[in-house]
Amino acid sequence: MEPEVLPAILVKTRPELLSRIALVKDLVRTIQIDVMDNLFVPNKTVGIEDLIGLPPLPKGVRYEFHWMVKTPERWIARVEGPSTHIVHVETIESAEHFADIRRTAQASGGKLALALNPETPLELALPFIKSVKMVLIMTVHPGFSGQKYIYEMGDKMKALRSLYPKLDIEVDGGVNLETIAHAYSNGANMLAAASAIFSSKDIKGAIQALRKAAKSGGQQ
């Protein structure tokens, strides 16, 4: 599977959000927006009011919302459109709760994906994977940008890829020119980066360099 590099936007205000969207919307296929409620993780980002009425994207480009929030279904219900909604398996209380979240995502016009924190065993996600379009393996503890990549998550990526050869597997956290090949070689094909993209004066060049670095590691 070809590597897809996607920018992860973690900001606290709508003007910052719109500015970063404008910087990358013509360069990628997916734009990830990180949303934190200061409950599920100890940080707060843009709120639901900042996410309503986001600018339309070019054809073939979509939004991906990473809901690091305690009750994701309440947030998803407010954001309409053909986006991907990533919810943490740690917030799913039961099979019935998962079904409710999935219905909410479908009603909003979007699709559902799962995320797992570093300490969460893969087994907790397995009952739900056939009902989602993608699984995100966190390679840092969620909450803040700029953390160090956790190399031990490679085993989790590899195990998931062996179980689901065609599944989109994403990683998020500490992805840069030094770590991206490790993620890709262990089975992740969607590679979210924040600082490695937005700290660059040449954002297009940074995205291209990350994609090239990913390929240098190959996939097993």
pLDDT in tens, 134-162: 999 999 998 776 779 999 999 999 999 99
Catalytic residue list contains 202: no
DSSP states along 184-217: HHTT--EEEESHHHHT-S-HHHHHHHHHHHHHHH
Q: Judge whether residue 176 has pLDDT over 70.
A: yes
Q: What is the pLDDT at residue 220?
A: 40
For CA atoms 132, 133, 139, 142, give the dihedral sign. Answer: negative
Instruction: List pLDDT tens digits, range 78-111.
Output: 999 999 999 999 999 999 999 999 999 999 999 9
Calculate the alpha carbon distances from 104 to 17, 68, 72, 85, 90 in Å.
Answer: 24, 17, 10, 10, 18
- Point out the catalytic residue in the list 26, 34, 50, 100: 34
Whole-angstrom distance, CA of residue 56 vs CA of residue 83: 11
Over 90: is that where the pLDDT of 181 sits?
yes
Residue with tokens 């803040």: 144
Task: For 28-87, write each residue's pLDDT tens digit.
Answer: 999 999 999 999 998 999 999 999 999 999 999 999 999 999 999 999 999 999 999 999
What CA–CA distance (Å, rounded) separates 115 from 67?
9
Q: Taking 80 as the threshold, does the pLDDT of residue 218 lie above it?
A: no
What is residue 9's three-state secondary structure?
Answer: strand
Q: Which domains does the chain have, with CATH numbers?
A: 4-217 (3.20.20.70)
Count, in order, helices (H) and strands (E) of the chain: 8, 8
Which H/E stretch holds residue 97?
helix 95-107
CA nearest to 220, candidates 166, 175, 162 = 162
| Positive/negative CA dihedral, 50, 79, 194, 20 | negative
Question: Is there a catalytic annotation at residue 34?
Answer: yes
- Asked if 162 and 183 count as a contact pair (C-beta separation under 8 A), the reply is no
The amino acid at residue 4 is: E
Confidence at residue 83, expressed as pLDDT on a 0 to 100 scale: 97
Q: How far apart are CA 190 and CA 181, in angstroms?
A: 12
Q: What percent of the chain has pLDDT over 90?
A: 94
What backbone torsions phi and psi does residue 105 show, to the nearest 5 degrees? -65, -45
Out of 37, 50, 172, 202, the active site residue is 172
Q: Model pTM? A: 0.95
Element (H, E) at 112: strand 111-116
